[in-house]
Chain A
Amino acid sequence: MCTGYDAQIPEITHCNLYGVKERRMKMLSSYGNGIKRAFLEPKMIVVLWLVNFVSASVIYFLFSGYLSDVIGNRLVAANFLKGFDFETFFELIIHEGEAWHWIFYVAFILAFLYYWVSLFLHGGILSLLKSRGITGEVGSRNMRFAPAFFQGAGKYFGRFFRLTIYSFLLWLVFGIVYFLLNLAMKPLTAGGTNEPAIYYRYWARAIIILFLYFLVRMICDYARIWIVAEDSKAVFRSLIQAIQFVFRNFFKTLILYYLVLITGLAIFGIYWVVQKMVPTQTLLPILIAFLIGQILILSRGWLKIALQAAQLHFYAYIK
C-alpha cells in the first residue's frame, strides 16, 4: 500500500519489485545512502553545530571568568598549560568549589534545554529529508532551506514531545527486562567469592544496559520516522508501529544502527589521535586544538543526519 510518503518518492513505488537477496543488502545500501545524504545537507549540519556551539559557549564564558578570577594571577595557572595538574585541580575544588556548583547547575539547565531544542530540530531534519526524497536528488531541492527546515521542526515538535512522554513506557519495560536479566544472572555470583564471575557480571550488565539503551533510542527514531513519513498524528500508534517494525526486522535495524555508531567511534578515534599530536601550550596550538574539536562536533551533526537518512531509507524500502 502506498502512503503519502511513498507518493513523494518515486523510487519507493518499486519496493515490491525487490527480490529477497536485494532486501538483505538493503541495510548496507541504506547505510551508504545515509552517509551520502548527510554530505548533501551541509546547512543542516551547520545548524546543528551552531546550536551546539552557542549552548556550550555559555560554559566557556562561565568557566573562563571563574578561572581568571580564581587563579588567573597565580603562578600555578601555568601548570595547566603543560598538562592536567591534578593537585591544583583538587585544590580548586576544595578551596574554590562553590562556583563549581553554579557552573554545574547552569550546565544541567543548558543540557535540559538542549535536549528539547534538538528534538525540535529533529523534526526539521526528518521533514527535509523526506521532502527531498530517498536519494536527496529529487523533489524540493530547490526550495529554500530555512523555511522548509524550521516549518518541519515546528510542525512535528508537538508530536515528538508526546512521543518522548510515551517513550517513558518503553524505558519502563526495558527497565523491567534489565531487572529480570540481572536477576537471572545473580545465581552465577551467589556467595560473592567468585570474583571472575562478579567481574563478568559487571561487564554483562553494562553491555545489557547499553544494548537496551540503544534499542529504545532506535525504536524512538523509527517512531519519529513513521510520524513524519506517514504524517501521522497518532503518536502512540506510531510508537507501536515502530516497535513492530523494529522487531520484525530486528537484526537488520540493529546492524544498520551499529554501523552508524561504529562510524562515529571511528571518527572519534581519528580525532583522539590527531588532538594528541597538538601540544597546547601557546595560543595558536590551543586554537588549532579547539578547531579540531569543532570538526568533531560537526562530524557528530553529520552522523546524526546520516543515521536519520539511513533509517529513513531502510524504512522506506522495507515497509
Chain B
Amino acid sequence: MASARRQIVRDALAVGIATGAYGVSFGAIAVATGLDVLQACALSALVFTGASQFAFVGVVAAGGAPMAGAATALLLGSRNTLYGLRLTSLLGLRGAPRAAGAQLVIDESTAMAVTRHDREHARLGFFATGLSVFVLWNLATLAGALGGRALGDPRDLGLDAAVGAAFLALLWPRLTTPINRAIAVAAALVAVALLPLVPAGVPVLVAAGVAVVAGLGVRR
C-alpha cells in the first residue's frame, strides 16, 4: 500500500531529525574534548552508533586513554549485535545489502523495523530510518564540530523528550500482551536503577538480560 509506505518514510524522516539533531551536541563535545573536526566526523560516519561515540569522547574528556575509550565504545556497541539477532530473520538480507545494512543497525532503525508486519515494510522502515538518521547525524556532527554551541541546545526545542517519546511510540504496539508489558516495565526499572551505579550504556545491556531471562523462562 502506497500510503503505508509514505507514512513509514515520513516517520523515518521525523526520527532522523529528532535524533540527528543530537549530532550537533556530539560534534561540539568531540571538538571540546580535543578531537579535530575530521576525527569528530570520522566517528559519526564510521562508528555511527551514538552511545558508543559519546562514550568514546566521554572517556577521552575524563582524561582516559583513547584505547580505553575504544574499549568502552565497543562494550556499548554490543547492543547492536543483539538488535541484529532480531533483524536478521525480519529483513532477510544477504551479501552486499547485508554488509551495507549492518552499518545502519542502531536503536532507531531497529525500532522502526520490528513494528512492521511484513518483510517489505520492515526493510523500508529499517533503511529509510537508518539512512535519514545517518545523513542528518553526520551533517549535524559537522555543524556542531564547526560551530560548536552557538547552534543552540537541542533540549531547548524539547528534542530530548522527543527521542524518548519516539521510542515509546515505537514500543507501544508491542505492549499488547501482559508478558511484554511486564518485561518492558521490568527492563525500564532495571535500567533506571542501574543508571547511577554503572558506566553509561551498561544499564540498557543489563536490561536486555530481562528479555533473555523471560525468553528462557516463559512458555507462551
Chain A bound to chain B: no
